[in-house]
Structure 1
Amino acid sequence: MSKPIAAVTADTLLADMKPINQKMADYAPRPLLNALGRAGILPIVIAYDDYADPEEFVDTFDALVLPGGPNPSPRFYGEEPLWCIGPTYEKRDIFEIALIQTCLKRGKPILGICRGMQILNAALGGTLWQDMSAQNPKAFIQHMQKAPGNIATHYVDIEKESRLHSILGDGLYVNSRHREGIKKLAPSLTAAARSRDGVIEAVEGRDNDLVAAVQWHPENMDPALMDPLFHAFADRIIRYK
C-alpha cells in the first residue's frame, strides 16, 4: 500500500538575501516534514503559482497541511488592518483559501497549525483578533512567548466531547507563538481546546472529522507527546482515501 500524500503549503522568504535565488525562496519547516514522515505520510511542499489555479493542485495529494506563518490579511474576514497587526502575505492567503474550499468539496482531510488554524477559520466564515494584546482584554496569558519556541509555556484544556480528547487527553502544556487568535468561530467548526484565558487553541469540524487544527506548534514539541496528533491525521487520510 502506497503512503498517503499530504501537501504542505509553503511560506516565502521575503528577506533581501543573496544569492538571488534565495531572495524569494519558498519553504516548509523541516520539523513539520519530519513529523509527517514519522507518521507514515509522504509530505510534498507546494507554493502558490501565479500561472495555475489552486484547484489544479488538488489531484496531486490526499490531504492538506496548513503550517504556521504570517498573519492572515484582515480583508479575508471583512476588516481593515489595525496599526498593530504583524506581517501579512495575501498571495499565500488567496492560495490557501482556495485549497481549503476545494479540499472540503473533494473530501480531503485538512490539518491546520497556528496560522493554519486562523486561515482555516477565516476561509470558513469566522473572524480573528488581529492582535490579542491590543484587542482582547480577556487574553491575559502570554500567547507570543518569550521562551524558546520549542518550550511549552501555557496549559490548554481539551474538551471532553472532542475528537482531540481521544488523542491527547484532558489537557497539556503547549508552546505558543501567535499574536492573533480566533474571535468569531466559523459556523462549521467547533472549539476542541482553550487556554485558561478562554482563547480557542484547537478546532474541529462540527459535522465530521475532515478538518482539525491546533494553535500551537506540535512539530516543535517532544515527538513522544505530539506524534499521536500526526498519527491521527494519517489515520484520517487513509480513511478518506
Structure 2
Amino acid sequence: MQPIIGIGSNHLIRISQHFENNYVDYTQKNYVASLSNAGALPLILPIGAPNLAKNYLSRIDALVLTGGQDVSPQLYNEDPIPQNGLNDWDRDVFEQALILAAIDAHKPILGICRGIQIINATLGGTNYQDLTTQLPNALGHNQYPTAWQTPTQQISTATGSFIEGIWGTTGLVNSFHHQAVKIAASGLKITATAADGVIEAVEDQNRQIIGVQFHPEMMATSNPQAAHLFEKFVAQI
C-alpha cells in the first residue's frame, strides 16, 4: 500500500499578477512529482489553524515541509534585520504545529530549504536571517539565473548519515536561499555543510527528521542522487 505523505503547502497573502485577489493554497509540482515517482501518494495540506495539525497527522504516514517565505525571526527570539524578507506568521505557526504533531505521532519528517529552517526554529535552534549580511565569508547561495536542476555547490557529508548514503563523502547540489540554520537545535546532528561552513543538512534518527537546505525536488528528474533521496525517505516509512 502506498504511504500517504502530507506536503505542507504555501498560500498567497498578497495580490498577484496571475491570481489577482484569489488567495490560493498551493505547492510546486516538483514536490508532488518527486514523491509520486518515489512510490508515495502525496497529499497537499492547506494552511490552517494550528489545532488542526494532529488531525492532519492522523491521516498521513509522513510529512514534507517545502520552501517559500523567510522563517520569522520571532520564532528564535530575534528582531528582523533589514534583509529579512517576507514572513508569513500563519504558515510559521501551522508548520510548527505539524512538526510537533509528527514527532508526537512518531512519523518521519523531511524539510526542504525553508523546511529545514522551520524545523530548526521549532526545536529551539536559530537561523541566519541573511547570509550575506551575517556571514561575511558566505558563498553565493542563490544560483539564479542558473537552471534550477543544475547542481552548482559542493557539500561535505558526515560519516554514516542519511545524506552520505546518497551523495557519498562529497557531492554537488543546487542552491536557492539567503537564510540558513545558524545554531542547530538540540538533537539535530549536522550531516552536510558547504565549503563556507553553511549547514546543508541535519538529521535526527530518534525523531525521524531529515532536513536539507538545497532543493532535491528541482533536481530529481535529471539527478539520480536527488531522486534517490525521495526514494530512500519513502522506503523508510
Q: Sort the TM-score into its range (normalised by shorter chain).
A: over 0.9
3-state DSSP of counterpart to 1:43: strand
Which residue number corresponds to residue 4 of structure 1? Answer: 3
Matched, 1:115 2:114: yes
Which residue number corresponds to residue 228 of structure 1? Answer: 228
Which residue number corresponds to residue 213 of structure 2? Answer: 215
* TM-fit CA distance, 1:44: 0.3
Greater CA drift, 190-199 or 209-218: 209-218
Matched, 1:199 2:183: no
CA distance in 2, matches of 1:17, 1:227: 32
3-state DSSP of counterpart to 1:216: coil
- The amino acid that maps onto 1:111 is L
**Residues 155, 172 of structure 1: 8 Å contact kept:** yes
Which residue number corresponds to residue 77 of structure 1? Answer: 76
Which residue number corresponds to residue 143 of structure 2? Answer: 145
CA distance in 1, matches of 2:71, 2:161: 26
* TM-fit CA distance, 1:54: 1.9
| TM-score of the pair, normalised by structure 2 | 0.93
Which residue number corresponds to residue 92 of structure 2? Answer: 93
Greater CA drift, 40-49 or 149-158: 149-158
Per-residue deviation, residues 80-133 of structure 1 (Å, max 9, x unmatched): 111111111111100000110111011000001000000000011000000010
Per-residue deviation, residues 29-68 of structure 1 (Å, max 9, x unmatched): 1011101001101000001224953222111101000011
- The amino acid that maps onto 1:38 is N
CA distance in 1, matches of 2:43, 2:184: 29
CA distance in 1, matches of 2:34, 2:19: 30
Matched, 1:185 2:184: yes
For the structure 1 residues 22 and 61, does the alpha-carbon distance in structure 2 shift closer, same or farther, using more than 3 Å as the test?
farther
Query: Gaps (5+ residues) in structure 1?
Result: none
CA distance in 2, matches of 1:177, 1:34: 20
Measured on the aligned residues, the alpha-carbon RMSD in Å equals 1.8
CA distance in 2, matches of 1:76, 1:67: 18
Which residue number corresponds to residue 105 of structure 1? Answer: 104
* TM-fit CA distance, 1:168: 2.2
Per-residue deviation, residues 167-205 of structure 1 (Å, max 9, x unmatched): 221221111111011111101100110000000100100
CA distance in 2, matches of 1:156, 1:51: 35
For the structure 1 residues 187 and 144, does the alpha-carbon distance in structure 2 shift closer, same or farther, using more than 3 Å as the test?
same
CA distance in 1, matches of 2:176, 2:206: 28
- The amino acid that maps onto 2:182 is K
The count of aligned residue pairs is 234
CA distance in 1, matches of 2:188, 2:90: 25
Query: Gaps (5+ residues) in structure 2?
Result: none
**Residues 103, 207 of structure 2: 8 Å contact kept:** no
**Residues 68, 114 of structure 1: 8 Å contact kept:** yes
CA distance in 1, matches of 2:93, 2:46: 12
CA distance in 1, matches of 2:3, 2:116: 22
Which residue number corresponds to residue 57 of structure 1? Answer: 56
Which residue number corresponds to residue 124 of structure 2? Answer: 125
CA distance in 1, matches of 2:32, 2:50: 26
CA distance in 2, matches of 1:153, 1:17: 31
For the structure 1 residues 18 and 68, does the alpha-carbon distance in structure 2 shift closer, same or farther, using more than 3 Å as the test?
closer
For the structure 1 residues 104 and 51, does the alpha-carbon distance in structure 2 shift closer, same or farther, using more than 3 Å as the test?
closer
For the structure 1 residues 161 and 24, does the alpha-carbon distance in structure 2 shift closer, same or farther, using more than 3 Å as the test?
same
Which residue number corresponds to residue 47 of structure 1? Answer: 46
**Residues 168, 228 of structure 1: 8 Å contact kept:** no
| TM-score of the pair, normalised by structure 1 | 0.91
